[in-house]
């Protein structure tokens, strides 16, 4: 039986166990799923805003499957801890489940109203309700990603307040910095350096980008922040970067 304290407290041990699971060790896989049930229940309850009973709540089953998915798909090369990655995966799958259940209720409501034409709601109102619900889901996703990013920035000794002050003011400068961040992330050697040192290797980076050393120095914090976003499983935050620096 894996000690919950040692598995949680020793990142390298947990990552070794995950690697063994990915190589086919089902015994460790089942042990991790049992050990981290409290973690899964807590992550699910944060979405549902209520106590989650592992024995009776469907949402917990969804979270358990999501945690297993996280085990099988996790890569330490992304730089984030497994538990941070797993928390995001669990929450996303639970929200998807809730959204699907909500859509079923809406569809059932429409069917019932079709049987009673005189009481049928306006289809445009139903569509508007679904759009509003999706907007709320998207908002929640973004808020969760921002909270997670805030924690990651602290690991690199950065903050949102600081980034607001140092972010390039002109669009061209921002796009140039994003392009540099993508080049940095795509270079395996430099990427590992950033993960290890928590800073940008300016001297090495200037050799692979079409930007001066002075510009890199001026925008290094912004570039580092974009690098962190690229390194994580941020679906919504990455949307802001699409099409830039391709």
Percent of the chain surpassing pLDDT 70? 78
40-88 pLDDT per residue, tens: 999 998 888 788 888 888 999 999 999 999 999 998 776 668 888 898 8
pLDDT at 119: 46
> What is the mean predicted confidence (pLDDT) over 3-14?
57
Higher pLDDT residue, 141 or 115? 141
pLDDT at 9: 46
Inter-residue contact 185 to 227 (CB < 8 Å): yes
Inter-residue contact 222 to 163 (CB < 8 Å): yes
Residue 26 has pLDDT above 80, yes or no: yes
What are the residues whose beta carbons fall under 8 Å from the beta carbon of 167, sequence distance 6 or more?
A: 174, 222
212-234 pLDDT per residue, tens: 999 999 999 999 999 999 988 77
C-alpha dihedral, 149 to 155 to 157 to 162, nearest 10°: 10
Inter-residue contact 228 to 153 (CB < 8 Å): yes
Higher pLDDT residue, 122 or 13? 13
Q: What does each C-alpha distance from 224 to 24, 138, 170, 192, 200 come to in angstroms?
A: 36, 25, 18, 13, 7
What are the residues whose beta carbons fall under 8 Å from the beta carbon of 92, sequence distance 6 or more?
A: 66, 141, 235
Percent of the chain surpassing pLDDT 90? 46
176-213 pLDDT per residue, tens: 999 999 999 999 999 999 999 999 999 999 999 999 99
Query: What whole-number distance in Å separates Cα of residue 232 and Cα of residue 149?
Result: 9
């Amino acid at each position: 039986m894996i000690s919950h304290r040692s598995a949680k407290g020793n990142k390298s041990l947990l990552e070794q166990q995950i690697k063994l699971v990915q190589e086919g060790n089902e015994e460790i896989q089942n042990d991790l799923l049992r050990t981290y049930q409290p973690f899964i229940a807590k992550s699910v309850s944060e979405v549902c805003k209520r106590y989650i009973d592992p024995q009776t709540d469907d949402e917990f089953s969804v979270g358990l499957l999501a945690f297993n998915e996280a085990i099988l798909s996790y890569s330490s090369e992304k730089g984030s801890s497994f538990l941070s990655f797993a928390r995001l995966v669990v929450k996303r799958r639970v929200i998807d489940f809730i959204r699907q259940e909500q859509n079923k209720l809406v569809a059932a409501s429409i069917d019932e109203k079709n049987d009673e034409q005189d009481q049928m709601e306006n289809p445009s109102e139903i569509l508007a309700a679904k759009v509003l619900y999706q907007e709320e889901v998207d908002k929640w996703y973004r808020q969760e990603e921002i909270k997670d990013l805030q924690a990651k920035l602290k690991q690199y000794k950065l903050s949102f307040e600081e980034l607001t002050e140092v972010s390039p003011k002109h669009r061209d400068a921002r796009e140039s910095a994003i392009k540099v961040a993508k080049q940095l992330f795509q270079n395996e050697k430099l990427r590992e350096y950033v993960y290890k040192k928590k800073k940008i290797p300016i001297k090495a980076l200037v050799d692979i980008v079409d930007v001066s050393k002075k510009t890199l120095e001026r925008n290094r914090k912004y570039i580092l922040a974009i690098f962190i976003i690229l390194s994580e499983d941020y679906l919504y935050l990455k949307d802001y970067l699409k099409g830039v620096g391709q």
